């Protein structure tokens, strides 16, 4: 049904628009009106995210939301903007980039005092579109909608997806596709590249206002630090901690971002910009989910290192905020960055111990984990299924081992590892039920495998959005057994091995 014809009886977007970005203005945010989209129709509306924004989801469906979320009409009080940023792409400074196809309707504050940006991705050209059309295609909108909500359900920091609308308007990529606009929601969409573009242009006086804008709204714990340099230093420390924790989260669920350029890195530690991302099937530490990444810069096992490299570019860009003496600022920046590896290692091991059902930390835990991962890599064992199956294994030898061992070609090696794991559990393993429950809430049964997303895309391109709805509902509860949906946890079919993703995804 095309709800653009519906008669609106309530303004569901009569929100508390505060428009922080519009107030700050240029050279950071530029006034920009969306380009109308022809004959938009509804595809999806997310009740969970609507609740974050104080939007009545039922009222939005009844009143009709497509004209607003297609960018065809603006909510009263909204002041749309596009954001200017730059970035290092595949290790090379790419210059000014910016919101080339995304327009933020404005910023709202909900009844709980939380602030969010509401952005239309695919809403038309901006000053930063360069030679592009400013549109998004249906397949990429579906991938971001599902991907961001899948990570949110896994308790991983991410942008969120409120809604998706479509249109039969043609969009030209490798082939002719149809248009879609996805409504993205986040506390802030400021990136590492937001500061880099100012530094590279030597607009050092413009760094502090943007930093103060972000800190004032999203880092209230720093408000009591009166000294500017000390406050900015504390801010950078938090960004390093959040970035390290985010990448540890990704590694623990087998998630690969695919394009970890600095313009895709959030200063809030959010997963940002879903392009050729992927959840790993067979465990391969060198897995590359983006076939455009021929050198493997953003492979799964490289993500922790790239996180540090990107933080290095960010810290470099805000050096004038750390000290008025350049050499002192550089020394302080290096000291801050040196903390990353330890923070990341601790975060990663904490998450992996939880996946193994271990409560306390011991020095030989890394060896136990690496032994399992090496066996998984050698056999091509499925990352998600293997850890999920481990949660069903008892501490008693040979008690229900089959689901775990069946994931391996070398069953003897899997059995030998289980013996080491049981020995490590020790006395704590005697209480199986609480451990199994903890592992269930740590190791998901359902992830957004590429073939599942592709199935939803194929049906949607034929006008059937039922699989999109079904998959979204499934991924909202990734840790639950959901026996009626058990097929969604099976190994990928043979045809799925040929799926490739690129930066156009």
Q: What are the pLDDT digits (tens) for 19-70?
A: 999 999 999 999 999 999 999 999 999 999 999 999 999 999 998 999 999 9
**What does the pLDDT average to over 320-334?**
97
Which of 130, 122, 124 lies closest to 97 in space, CA to CA?
130
Quick one: pLDDT band at residue 495, thresholds 50, 70, 90? Answer: confident
Quick one: pLDDT band at residue 92, thresholds 50, 70, 90? Answer: very high
Residue that has been written with the tokens 């590694």 in this structure: 251
**Is the confidence at residue 289, as pLDDT, over 90?**
yes
Q: Which residues contact 494 (CB under 8 A, 6 or more apart)?
A: none
Cβ atoms 124, 135 nearer than 8 A: yes
Q: What are the pLDDT digits (tens) for 356-407?
A: 999 999 999 999 999 999 999 999 999 999 999 999 999 888 778 999 999 9
Looking at 249, 263, 281, 379, which residue is catalytic? 263
Average model confidence (pLDDT) for the chain? Answer: 94
**What does the pLDDT average to over 291-311?**
96
Cβ atoms 122, 145 nearer than 8 A: no
101 is in an annotated binding site: yes
121 is in an annotated binding site: yes
Give the chain's end-to-end CA distance (angstroms, integer): 27
264 is in an annotated binding site: yes
Q: Which residues contact 358 (CB under 8 A, 6 or more apart)?
A: 365, 424, 425, 428
295 is in an annotated binding site: no
* Strand pairing category for 115-121 and 176-186: antiparallel
Question: According to the model, what pLDDT value does residue 6 have?
Answer: 37
**Is the confidence at residue 479, as pLDDT, over 50?**
yes
**From CA 245, how far away is CA 405, in angstroms rounded?**
31
**What does the pLDDT average to over 121-130?**
94
Question: According to the model, what pLDDT value does residue 156 have?
Answer: 98
**Is the confidence at residue 130, as pLDDT, over 70?**
yes
| Active site (annotated) includes residue 263 | yes
Which residues sit opposite 67 in a β-bridge?
none
Quick one: pLDDT band at residue 195, thresholds 50, 70, 90? Answer: very high
98 is in an annotated binding site: yes
**Is the confidence at residue 8, as pLDDT, over 50?**
no
Burial of 117-128, coded b for 16+ CB within 10 Å and e otherwise, reads bbbbbbbbbbeb
**What does the pLDDT average to over 421-427?**
87
**From CA 276, how far away is CA 292, in angstroms rounded?**
9
Q: What are the pLDDT digits (tens) for 149-179?
A: 999 999 999 999 999 999 999 999 889 999 9
77 is in an annotated binding site: no
Question: According to the model, what pLDDT value does residue 505 have?
Answer: 55
Which of 99, 49, 485 lies closest to 264 in space, CA to CA?
99
134 is in an annotated binding site: yes
Q: What are the pLDDT digits (tens) for 340-357?
A: 999 999 999 999 999 999
133 is in an annotated binding site: yes
184 is in an annotated binding site: yes
**Is the confidence at residue 412, as pLDDT, over 80?**
yes
Tokens standing for 88? 């290092």
**What does the pLDDT average to over 433-450?**
96
Quick one: pLDDT band at residue 428, thresholds 50, 70, 90? Answer: low
**From CA 107, how far away is CA 187, in angstroms rounded?**
9
Question: According to the model, what pLDDT value does residue 498 have?
Answer: 62
Tokens standing for 119? 């952005």
Count of C-beta atoms within a 10 Å radius of residue 85: 22
160 is in an annotated binding site: no
DSSP secondary structure, 456-468, as one string = HHHHHHTT--HHH
**Is the confidence at residue 430, as pLDDT, over 60?**
no
Residue that has been written with the tokens 């004038």 in this structure: 320
**Is the confidence at residue 300, as pLDDT, over 70?**
yes
**What does the pLDDT average to over 84-107?**
96
Percent of the chain at pLDDT > 70 equals 96
């Amino acid at each position: 049904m095309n709800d653009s014809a519906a008669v609106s009886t309530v303004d569901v977007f009569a929100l508390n628009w505060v428009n922080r970005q519009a107030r700050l203005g240029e050279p950071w945010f530029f006034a920009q009106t969306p380009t109308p989209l022809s004959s938009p129709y509804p595809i999806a509306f997310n009740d969970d995210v609507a609740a974050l924004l104080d939007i009545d989801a039922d009222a939005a469906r009844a009143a009709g939301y497509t004209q607003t979320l297609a960018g065809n009409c603006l909510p009263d009080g909204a002041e749309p903007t596009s954001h200017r940023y730059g970035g290092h792409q595949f290790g090379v400074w790419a210059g000014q980039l910016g919101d080339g196809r995304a327009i933020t309707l404005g910023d709202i504050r909900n009844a709980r005092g939380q602030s969010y940006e509401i952005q239309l991705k695919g809403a038309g050209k901006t000053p930063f579109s360069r030679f592009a059309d400013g549109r998004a295609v249906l397949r990429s909108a579906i991938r971001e909608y599902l991907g961001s909500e899948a990570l949110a359900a896994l308790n991983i920091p991410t942008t969120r997806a409120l809604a998706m609308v479509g249109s039969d308007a043609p969009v030209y990529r490798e082939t002719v596709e149809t248009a879609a606009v996805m409504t993205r929601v986040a506390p802030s969409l400021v990136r590492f590249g937001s500061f880099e573009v100012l530094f590279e242009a030597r607009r050092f006086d413009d760094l502090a206002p943007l930093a103060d804008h972000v800190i004032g709204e999203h880092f209230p714990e720093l408000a009591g630090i009166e000294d500017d340099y000390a406050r900015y230093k504390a801010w950078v420390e938090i960004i390093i901690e959040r970035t390290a924790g985010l990448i540890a989260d990704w590694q623990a669920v087998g998630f690969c971002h695919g394009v970890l350029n600095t313009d895709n890195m959030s200063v809030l530690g959010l997963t940002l910009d879903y392009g050729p991302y992927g959840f790993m099937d067979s465990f391969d530490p060198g897995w590359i989910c983006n076939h455009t990444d021929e050198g493997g810069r953003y492979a799964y096992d490289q993500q922790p290192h790239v996180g540090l490299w990107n933080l290095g570019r960010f810290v470099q860009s805000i050096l004038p905020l750390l000290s008025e003496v350049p050499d002192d600022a550089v020394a302080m920046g290096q000291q801050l960055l040196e903390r990353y590896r330890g923070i990341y290692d601790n975060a990663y091991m904490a998450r992996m111990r939880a996946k193994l059902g271990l409560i306390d930390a011991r020095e030989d835990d890394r060896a136990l984990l690496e032994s399992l991962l090496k066996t998984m890599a050698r056999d091509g064992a499925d990352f998600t299924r293997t850890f999920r199956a481990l949660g069903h294994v008892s501490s008693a030898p040979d008690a229900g081992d089959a689901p775990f061992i069946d994931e391996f070609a070398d069953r003897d090696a899997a059995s030998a590892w289980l013996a080491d794991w049981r020995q490590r559990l020790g006395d704590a393993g005697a209480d199986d039920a609480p451990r199994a429950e903890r592992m269930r809430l740590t190791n998901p049964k359902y992830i957004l495998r590429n073939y599942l997303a592709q199935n939803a895309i194929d049906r949607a391109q034929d006008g059937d959005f039922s699989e999109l709805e079904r998959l979204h509902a499934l991924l909202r509860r990734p840790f639950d057994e959901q026996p009626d949906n058990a097929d969604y946890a099976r190994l990928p079919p043979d045809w799925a091995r040929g799926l490739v993703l690129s930066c156009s995804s």
